[in-house]
Amino acid sequence: MEFYGTIGPACGNRERLAGMFYHGMTGVRLNLSHMCLQDAAFWISEIHMAAERVGITPQILIDLQGPELRIGEFKNPKEYVLKAFETIYLGTEQEENQIPVTKKFLDEVFEGQSILLDDGKIMLKVVKKDAERVCCNILIGGVLKQKKSIALPGVEIAMPTLTQMDIENLHLAKQYGVTGVMLPFVRGREDIMNLKAALREADAEDICIFAKIENFSGVDALEEIIEEADTVVIARGDLGNAMPLWELPAVQKKIAKRCQEKGRKFMVVTQMLASMETSAVPTRAEVSDIFNAVLDGADSVMLTGETAAGRYPEDAIRYLVKTVESAEKFLQESIE
């Protein structure tokens, strides 16, 4: 079993990382949605030195931008505090008090459409549209920072597999000791083949491919994705945005079962210990979730905000590892 944490301000130094490795972390995810690999050079150096201190060779995963829609950069301010029942505009121009979006996105929006921002944390509803912008009611508010994800439930907008920044990062991957690449929003075999071609071009064919299932296209194309990827990632954040949340557990179970039947490794991610971003102890539901992922056959599990921005990154890794060990013990005793 592999145990991954996500690096961020909360754990971006070798002392904290060494503690996480000591508690059982085997690899680290770098989220390159908002930064390039060169910008993460200091963190990567800290990862390697922390792992060396504990006597292990770390797995390093880079999570690409991939075919995911994002809002643009804000003109002013640097973040918006969106309050429920108020209104906000989305438009193609970088104007004050307007969230910048692409023309391609604007073309797909219609009145009455729901819009999800920042992995579904914020929800809007379109009440009026013209050629340049849309006016939205804020249904669920929150703090919105620039370059966060934006999605239209039930609508898929054609996007290239890789961004220019993704391609540049792949060419630097081997130089920085990257062992795996996570491709978001995989829609089918073609996306993985495009990534494989880019890795060949970068002389990095030995880097493993982690295909993230995050929408219905990925679920529908699961068979061909299983055939091409090294690891299938059940990425429950955006996957949960694509369907009613009460349907998500069944989809997770189906993906896990099919991966096991085909002998393909799979990873479970997103909100595994979400409460530990602010609490030193997880909920009973969270440890049960991890336990069940192991029983379903997961080969790896990952923490995201819990380690990148949470207050207790070392404790979160400890609970993750200890819960998996408990599940593995249970499985072994069941066999005996």
What pairs with residue 27 in β-bridges? 4, 59
pLDDT value at position 334? Answer: 85
Closest CA to 100 of 65, 77, 131, 133: 133
Candidate list 133, 212, 236, 264, residue with the active-site label: 212
Catalytic residue among 14, 16, 70, 264: 70
Tokens 């390093």 belong to residue:
60
| Catalytic option among 6, 161, 163, 270 | 270
Taking only the tens of pLDDT, the chain with its 336 residues reads: 999 999 999 999 999 999 999 999 999 999 998 789 999 999 999 999 999 999 999 999 999 988 777 888 887 777 889 999 999 999 988 777 788 998 888 888 889 999 999 878 899 999 999 878 999 999 999 999 888 888 888 777 778 899 999 999 999 999 999 999 999 999 999 999 999 999 999 999 999 999 999 989 999 999 999 999 999 999 998 898 888 899 999 999 999 999 999 999 999 999 999 999 999 999 999 999 999 999 999 999 999 999 999 999 999 999 999 999 999 999 998 887
> Taking the model in full, what pTM does it have?
0.85
Distance separating alpha carbons of residues 222 and 26, to the nearest angstrom: 27
H or E element at residue 117: strand 114-117
Q: Would you call 14 a catalytic residue per the annotation?
A: no
Whether 258 sits among the annotated catalytic residues: the reply is: no
Between CA 108 and CA 247 the distance in angstroms is: 26
CB 141 within 8 A of CB 7: no
Pairing of strands 180-183, 59-63: parallel
Could you tell me which of 136, 94, 131 has the C-alpha nearest to residue 115?
136
Q: Between 3.40.50.10800, 1.20.1260.10, 1.10.580.10, 2.40.33.10, what CATH number should domain 79-151 receive?
A: 2.40.33.10
Domain regions of the chain by residue span: 2-68+159-335, 79-151
CB atoms within 10 A of CB 80: 21
What DSSP element (H or E) covers 170? helix 164-172
The residue from 14, 16, 29, 265 that is catalytic is: 29
The CATH class given to the 2-68+159-335 domain equals alpha beta
pLDDT single digits (tens) 36-70: 999 999 999 999 999 999 999 999 999 998 877 78
Cβ neighbour number for residue 160 with a 10 Å cutoff: 11
